[in-house]
Structures are given as structure tokens and as C-alpha cells.
Amino acid sequence: MQMLIVVLIGILGGLAGAFQSQFLGIMEQRAGTLASTFVTYGGGGLVVGVLMLAAGGGRLADLRTVPWWAFTAGAMGLVVVASLGITVDRLGLGAGLTLFTGSTLVLAALIDQFGWFGDGHPLDLRRLGGVALVIFGTWLVVGGR
């Protein structure tokens, strides 16, 4: 896949994430964490179920080759959705997403540095500087609340 397409898909995901987070904050405020998480996963489950039926079932059989710990992604997704709903409702969209993105980047840099789940990508001085700037930026956006 061409790099431009990959970048555009990443941008699309980020835009969808901002809308989703805002909508989660609204649902969190009006209906609570469990209801907003249920709506998110229930709606997503229905859509992916229809897509899988249309695509002939996908590659479910290949899931046998996936390590057991990778199956915790669904439960972690629940934490993502619930935490975004809670933080966006209480801190606002910008601060909630900044906190989420900053903490995600710090862990991602560690995972890459040590190659915990595959090939590593060393944390050179440039990347370390970028992570430090994101941490500082997160403090600027979220700090003082």
C-alpha cells in the first residue's frame, strides 16, 4: 500500500476518533459509562457483523494462530472507550484526547524501543525529543485542571 494512502487512512482514523470521543462524552454525561460503551460496541459489532457476512465470513479460522494475549484487545478497547467518555466529559475534547494521545505515545515508544511484540524501532534522540515534546504539550493542555 502506498505511503500516502496509509497516511490518509491514519488521518481518517484520527478524525473518526475525535468525533467518537466527543460523542462518547455526550453519551457519558447523559447515560453513563456502561450505556455509552454498550452503544459503541453494540453498534460496531453490528456493522462489522454485516461486513463479515458480506465478505463471506472473513478469516476467522486464522485466529487460531494469534497469541492468547492478543485477544485482550477487545477488553482493552472497552477501557479505551470508557476512559475517553469519562475524560472528554470532564476535561473537554482537547484535553481528553491530548491525555489519551500522550500516554499512548509514551507506551508505544517503550514497546518500539524494547521490541516487546515484534521488531523494535529504536528510540533515537529525535524520537525521544518528540516524545518529550508531547509529554510537555500534554502537561500544558491538561495541567492546572
Pair 89, 28: CB distance under 8 Å: yes
Number of domains in the chain: 1
- Cα(106)–Cα(103) distance, integer angstroms: 5
Residue 94 lies in a domain: yes
Instruction: Give mean pLDDT, residues 31-47.
Output: 93
Residue 10 lies in a domain: no
Q: Is the pTM of this model over 0.95?
A: no
Q: What percent of the chain has pLDDT over 90?
A: 82
Give the residue numbers spanning the domain of 50: 24-142
Amino acid 144: pLDDT? 64
Q: Which residue reads 500534554 in cell numbers?
A: 138
Segment 120-130, tens digit of pLDDT: 888 999 999 99
Amino acid 22: pLDDT? 94
User: For residue 145, what pLDDT band results from cuts at 50, 70 and 90?
Assistant: low
Pair 142, 95: CB distance under 8 Å: yes
Amino acid 63: pLDDT? 92
Residue 44 lies in a domain: yes
Residue 4 lies in a domain: no
Amino acid 129: pLDDT? 95
- Give the torsion sign (CA, 106, 108, 109, 113): positive
Residue 66 lies in a domain: yes
Residue 5 lies in a domain: no
Amino acid 56: pLDDT? 86
Residue 6 lies in a domain: no
User: For residue 113, what pLDDT band results from cuts at 50, 70 and 90?
Assistant: very high
Segment 45-97, tens digit of pLDDT: 999 999 999 988 888 889 999 999 999 999 999 999 999 999 999 999 999 99
Residue 131 lies in a domain: yes
Amino acid 106: pLDDT? 93
Pair 104, 87: CB distance under 8 Å: no
